[in-house]
Structure 1
Amino acid sequence: MSQTIYPIGIQNFEKIRKDGYLYIDKTAWVYQLANTGSYYFLSRPRRFGKSLLLSTIEAYLQGKKELFNGLAIEKLEKEWKAYPVLHLDLNAERYSEAGALESILRRYLNLWEDRWGKDEREITPADRFTGVIRRACEKSKQRVVILVDEYDKPLLQAIGDERLQEEFRSILKAFYGVLKTMDGYIKLAFLTGVTKFGKVSVFSDLNNLMDISMDNRYVEICGITEKEIHTYMEDSLRELAEAQGLNNEETCRKLKERYDGYHFTEDSIGIYNPFSLLNTFAKKKFGDYWFETGTPSYLVELLKHTHYDLYEMANTETDADVLNSIDAASRNPIPVIYQSGYLTIKDYDAEFGIYKLGFPNLEVEEGFVKYLLPFYTNVSAAKTPFEIGQFVREIRTGNYDAFFKRLQSFFADTPYEVITGQKPERNTELHYQNVLFIVFKLVGLYTKVEYHTANGRIDLVLQTERYIYLMEFKLNGTAEEALQQINEKQYALPFYNDNRKLFKIGVNFSSETRNIERWIVEK
């Protein structure tokens, strides 16, 4: 039995090293960062090790040599100088009102001024920050290290409130702008966050900031690689396999399927979600650990606000400019969803510079789609697993009538705001497509589903052990027309030699009643 202690929820490097927690050595990258540049930005999803990375940089640049015994940096660093460090963590606060951001900045500025001195003439947060940097450098005779954890938390929490977001933006723009004006006093500045707000936002003046979010050299700086699993956690892997009654190969395959698959550049190795992986090893059980810590509601607000087609989200193509930056005025939710870790790079067309995106792994796909269901239907989050279980049972037993009646209940009492806006008919169509996308994505976790959508219609193939369903959904057509299309387009042709029972089902969805009106079945 291994005695590995997993650092779940522990983001302090010194505590991890002193208390004997598992540490996966990322210090070679830390040394490279600190000795080859001055200003960095890194975007990674939440719970991906960004805070631990900053804590590691802090310990290194404070000269705490004893914490790095046996790590890669021990052989690289010869001098171990101690620099003054100003570490700002914006993660812990709730930014629901205007004063919240200024309050947390005041708290940190007070602490730094207690250490490095104060000038009463400095009033604004930006002025005080400037003064602290200058005094810290002059008193220590060393340039200053500035670390900002989750720089974007206030902006993300205010994503649905343009007035509040504008207020936060103007405060942060001036505050972070100090990094450029005080260049001569700064040894290293490192900002982390989930997203990168660009153009008219906080980074517009920080053109000296190197963004390493999509930089091949630093792909492995946060998260865990397959090689690292085998280097640091081979015993844990064996114990998990034993607990689950699997062999090592099956266990590795299941870990990969559930938690691997993050690609932050084209053609890069897959990165595992560290939070989910460590929880799985600690509890010796596969689970949706990343989702249990809460999904940001701003994502759903953004999807609903922009009337976004979820089918497009799971099959989207875009370029690096879109992925890299969030324009505060943009109505495209894809950069936020990508940078938040719900989509990742699946493929890259080098000729046109186009990235194809998709869900990174099963945990994210299942968790995100389950999370969306209550926001698009009248089904509560607590009832979602039950409803999906019923759908799957009905499909497996060939009870299509019960299946469609259940689906009708999902559309009943659709919230009015779903179809309001400039194009209510288009929004109704989108809503019905989005609900079907969510339902069939979830059903597809247990059965085989092929799903296509175009111009007010959806065609769908659903396969179980005993049955094959060919479905055509039409908006404002008739069920007969939908069935006729299945026959005309010969959707059943690939299954003629299949022993399973085949159902062809034409379905009509009415925008007037905002529900499935009728379905007819040909066996």
Structure 2
Amino acid sequence: METLQRLYPIGIQTFSEIREKNYLYIDKTEYVYHMTHFAKYVFLSRPRRFGKSLLTSTLHSYFSGRKGLFQGLAMEGLEKEWIEYPVLHFDMSTAKHVDKEQLLQELNLKLSEYESVYGKGEEEINPNQRLMGLIKRAYERTGRQVVVLIDEYDAPLLDVVHEKENLGVLRNIMRNFYSPLKACDPYLKYVFLTGITKFSQLSIFSELNNIKNISMDEPYAAICGITEDEMLTQMKEDVERLAVKLEITPEEVLLKLKENYDGYHFTYPSPDLYNPFSLLNAFADGKFGSYWFGSGTPTYLIKMLEKFGVEPSEIGNNHAEVSAFDAPTETMTDIIPLLYQSGYITIKDYDESIDLYTLDIPNKEVRLGLMKSLLPNYVASKTRETTTMVAYLSRDIRNDDMDSALRRLQTFLSTIPYCDNTKYEGHYQQMFYIIFSLLGSFVDVEVRTPRGRVDVVLRTKTTLYVMELKLDKTAGEAMEQINLKNYPERFALCGLPVVKVAINFDSERGTIGDWMIEK
């Protein structure tokens, strides 16, 4: 007898709906129990699409005393009382891309919904007055302390983080809205906030000095996301179904899932974490797609990369002190904290002796998505044409035909509009870095050798390419430098044949001028 099709909660962030309709739920309720019994004010930062909203919704059901929803979960054996508290749950994700008036309208709608239940005082006009009145009346009418849940508290601010004037205006509105949370302490049972970033000057962090930030606390490392253990136990059937559909072994499925969606760590040590949104979509679709970026690349990130002058090759393989993770978003002088908080880089190692974290791009899905979103800055072309070019280029490289790959690239670049900075050698170096990254190959730039730095190193399954790039010179001069500095010597022990590639770019034509290849 064929088993029923598994129901995956794609895009469903409501705990009650997932439980009532028998969707797959990875049990995180033990974390919920401990998180609500060790601190009164709690903040959690995680990247988008990582399950923050579902976690907030789980808290809502828990504090509403909905015992039946937790049947068969860890919480059932932990909670004995199941008291129903009044819950004020604000989802700020509806307040993205807004100006001052729209933000005030959004807050008005959210407050009005609860005022229809608990009433509104005539003298309460501003958002902070209305929130304070709501908390007090909810407490008085129910005789129980109030739970306040704020999901994506920073959503109204993220899109204007690069706009000093707008950021200040919207930040003041949000500061005003959140300010009663400290003054209402006697009436509050529990306060929980989620977000991507930490905006230091919001009253939430400057006034709520007793808020517990669990974002990098080891006990809560796996509170969002799916661990390998959870996948191997609670999703074993899903792995087997996917293997049957793709006609590969379950072991091969696990390797592919790991390569594409694993690799996140939000503290150290930490279990390997999979992006839940991507993982569930892969199981639902029966293929290894690019889901996280398909759900939208934040414009603020691209703008911040430009603001800080960060090249694509500089995003991965970084180091940061512990203090960097707590850097105020709006006053930061380095993009590393924002890249980390947004999920584009993650913790890969930690050196306790010098208190230094190693940060890198988590997995293939993020690397490819990131490079695709950055490519238009280097290749001003229609997406379809670029994607087609990259696909053919990938085939050339797989076939060890670098000559055809460069000829194809030469033709492609000569048919597209000029980008800015095409008279700068680094522009072409970064363009190569992005394109080769999109091929799924290992690529690095400015690789040190005993006698200098190699412009680009590309490693495929069969070959290691050592590349020297020149601008408005000749391929002969580039090859001369490779030979003079004996760059291949540095890679003699890599176990692959080393191929020397010398390339000259023609800035007038905006494409490759000539090249030489030597084995």
What TM-score does the superposition give when structure 2 sets the normalisation length?
0.91
Pick from 304, 310, 313: which aligns with 1:311?
Answer: 313
- The answer for the alignment partner of 1:227 in structure 2 is 229
Work out whether 1:441 is the aligned partner of 2:437: yes
**CA deviation string 1:249-286 (max 9, x = no partner):** 11111111111111000121101111111112222222
Distance 1:402 1:261, change over 3 A: closer
1:135 aligns to what SS in structure 2?
A: helix
Pick from 352, 362, 365: which aligns with 1:363?
Answer: 365
Q: Identity of counterpart residues, as a percentage? A: 44
Q: CA deviation at 1:399?
A: 4.9
For 2:461 and 2:273, the matched residues in 1 are separated by 34
Summarize the alignment of residues 121-520 of structure 1 with structure 2, pairs less than 5 Å apart: 121-198=123-200, 203-395=205-397, 396=399, 398-400=401-403, 403=406, 406=409, 409-410=412-413, 413-416=417-420, 428=424, 430-443=426-439, 445=440, 447=441, 449-452=443-446, 458-463=454-459, 469-474=465-470, 479-493=475-489, 503-509=499-505, 516-520=512-516
- The answer for the alignment partner of 1:422 in structure 2 is none
Structure 1 contact 457–475 (Cα < 8 Å) conserved:
no
Structure 2 contact 474–504 (Cα < 8 Å) conserved:
yes
Instruction: Give the residue type in structure 2 aligned to 1:84.
Output: P
Distance 1:272 1:362, change over 3 A: same
Q: CA deviation at 1:471?
A: 1.1
For 2:60 and 2:487, the matched residues in 1 are separated by 61
Structure 1 contact 152–195 (Cα < 8 Å) conserved:
yes
Q: CA deviation at 1:360?
A: 0.9
Q: CA deviation at 1:153?
A: 0.8
For 2:112 and 2:493, the matched residues in 1 are separated by 76
251-260 vs 200-209, greater mean Cα deviation: 200-209
**CA deviation string 1:150-170 (max 9, x = no partner):** 111111122332221111111
Consecutive unaligned residues of structure 1, counting only runs of 5 or more, are: 420-424
Q: CA deviation at 1:413?
A: 3.7
**CA deviation string 1:320-348 (max 9, x = no partner):** 22223343133422222211111111111
1:207 aligns to what SS in structure 2?
A: coil
For 1:27 and 1:500, the matched residues in 2 are separated by 49
For 1:20 and 1:160, the matched residues in 2 are separated by 43
1:507 aligns to what SS in structure 2?
A: strand
- The answer for the alignment partner of 2:35 in structure 1 is 33
**CA deviation string 1:120-146 (max 9, x = no partner):** 212211111111111111221111100
Q: CA deviation at 1:494?
A: 6.7
Instruction: Give the residue type in structure 2 aligned to 1:436.
Output: F
Distance 1:382 1:6, change over 3 A: same
For 2:411 and 2:163, the matched residues in 1 are separated by 34
Q: CA deviation at 1:242?
A: 0.8
Structure 2 contact 171–202 (Cα < 8 Å) conserved:
no
Q: CA deviation at 1:174?
A: 2.0
Instruction: Give the residue type in structure 1 aligned to 2:75.
Output: I
Structure 2 contact 312–371 (Cα < 8 Å) conserved:
no
Distance 1:466 1:218, change over 3 A: closer
Q: CA deviation at 1:296?
A: 1.3
Structure 2 contact 467–500 (Cα < 8 Å) conserved:
yes
Structure 1 contact 326–336 (Cα < 8 Å) conserved:
no
For 2:447 and 2:490, the matched residues in 1 are separated by 20
**CA deviation string 1:384-414 (max 9, x = no partner):** 3211122223443535266156258548644
Distance 1:132 1:495, change over 3 A: closer
What TM-score does the superposition give when structure 1 sets the normalisation length?
0.90
Structure 1 contact 451–460 (Cα < 8 Å) conserved:
yes
Aligned residues: 512
For 1:183 and 1:359, the matched residues in 2 are separated by 41
**CA deviation string 1:463-516 (max 9, x = no partner):** 557765321124576544432221122223477899998643333457788765
Q: CA deviation at 1:235?
A: 1.3
For 1:369 and 1:22, the matched residues in 2 are separated by 32
Structure 1 contact 159–298 (Cα < 8 Å) conserved:
yes
Instruction: Give the residue type in structure 1 aligned to 2:502.
Output: G
Distance 1:399 1:359, change over 3 A: closer
For 1:346 and 1:305, the matched residues in 2 are separated by 26
Q: CA deviation at 1:305?
A: 2.5
Q: CA deviation at 1:364?
A: 1.1
Q: CA deviation at 1:70?
A: 1.6
Q: CA deviation at 1:218?
A: 0.5
Pick from 20, 41, 51: which aligns with 2:22?
Answer: 20
For 2:481 and 2:141, the matched residues in 1 are separated by 79
Q: CA deviation at 1:106?
A: 0.5
**CA deviation string 1:42-100 (max 9, x = no partner):** 11111111111111111111111111112111111111111110000011343232212
Q: CA deviation at 1:202?
A: 5.6
Distance 1:246 1:302, change over 3 A: same
For 1:453 and 1:44, the matched residues in 2 are separated by 33
Structure 2 contact 433–456 (Cα < 8 Å) conserved:
no
Instruction: Give the residue type in structure 2 aligned to 1:145.
Output: V
Pick from 79, 83, 94: which aligns with 1:92?
Answer: 94
Structure 1 contact 348–356 (Cα < 8 Å) conserved:
yes
Consecutive unaligned residues of structure 2, counting only runs of 5 or more, are: none
Structure 1 contact 170–202 (Cα < 8 Å) conserved:
no
Structure 1 contact 197–326 (Cα < 8 Å) conserved:
yes
Distance 1:501 1:274, change over 3 A: closer
For 1:510 and 1:21, the matched residues in 2 are separated by 57
Q: CA deviation at 1:375?
A: 3.1
- The answer for the alignment partner of 2:111 in structure 1 is 109
